[in-house]
């Protein structure tokens, strides 16, 4: 390396000597086309993760698997009654409601306001959180009154051999 830059002040009188570089920063037609191809490449690469995620969803890999859990026998749950259980963990309390002969719904019964337990009011056909009078629609788990703003997480149930099983938790949708 030459030491011409170490002389103070160095002999060159052009203090901005790195600017005049023979139009190297000029964008000509070819450079512009290169930029466009590069942009197309960026678009292509950035669409890969979306494709991968979509393929994952299509194959059902995004759903969590839980071991199926027996809740109760069909005979011990009259139509219109509810039973408490825990799913998927032993501390995730949940409620199963039998709405008709073959229609069962189950929700995790921690109120989405402050996690008080939600009860099934049979005579009023709605789910009630007694802490602040939050109410939920029994068909969908959507909040209908009071402070809660989010639906109760739904649990998928299946009837097999005269017993009701919890098989999965519906994915949370914001």
Partner 1 sequence: MKRSYLPVALLLAVLMLNIIFTQYMVHQYFYENYTNTIIAAVINVILFPVAFLIYKKGVNVHD
Q: Which residues bind partner 1 (CB under 8 A)?
A: 29-30, 32-34, 36-37, 39-41, 43-44, 46-48, 50-51, 53-55, 57-58
Q: Kindly report whether the peptide bond that precedes residue 88 is cis, defined as omega within 30 degrees of 0.
A: yes
- State the pairing for strand pair 82-86/104-108: unpaired
Nearer to partner 1, 96 or 154 (CB): 154
Please report which residue ranges of the chain form alpha helices under DSSP H: 29-58
Nearer to partner 1, 138 or 169 (CB): 169
- Nearest approach in angstroms of CB 170 to partner 1 is 13
Match 């995620």 to its residue by tokens. Answer: 53
- Nearest approach in angstroms of CB 59 to partner 1 is 9
- Nearest approach in angstroms of CB 167 to partner 1 is 21
Q: In angstroms, rounded to a whole number, what is the distance separating the alpha carbons of residues 133 and 145?
A: 8
β-partners of residue 134 are 129
Nearer to partner 1, 8 or 58 (CB): 58
Enumerate residues 6+ apart whose C-beta is below 8 A from 50.
none
- Nearest approach in angstroms of CB 91 to partner 1 is 31
- Nearest approach in angstroms of CB 174 to partner 1 is 11
For the chain, report the end-to-end CA distance as a whole number of angstroms.
Answer: 62
Nearer to partner 1, 29 or 91 (CB): 29
Nearer to partner 1, 47 or 144 (CB): 47
Eight-state DSSP code of residue 153:
P
């Amino acid at each position: 390396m030459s030491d011409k830059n170490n002389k103070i002040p160095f002999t060159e009188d052009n203090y901005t000597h790195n600017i005049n570089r023979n139009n190297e920063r000029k964008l000509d037609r070819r450079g512009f086309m290169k930029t466009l191809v590069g942009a197309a490449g960026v678009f292509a690469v950035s669409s890969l993760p979306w494709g991968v995620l979509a393929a994952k969803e299509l194959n059902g890999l995004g759903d969590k698997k839980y071991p199926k859990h027996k809740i109760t026998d069909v005979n011990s749950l009259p139509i219109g009654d509810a039973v408490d259980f825990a799913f998927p963990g032993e501390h995730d309390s949940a409620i199963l409601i039998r709405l008709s002969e073959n229609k069962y719904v189950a929700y995790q019964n921690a109120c989405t306001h402050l996690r008080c337990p939600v009860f099934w009011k049979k005579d009023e056909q709605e789910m009630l959180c007694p802490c602040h009078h939050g109410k939920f629609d029994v068909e969908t788990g959507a909040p209908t009154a009071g402070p809660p703003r989010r639906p109760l997480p739904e649990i998928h149930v299946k009837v097999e051999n005269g017993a009701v099983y919890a098989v999965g938790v519906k994915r949370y949708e914001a």
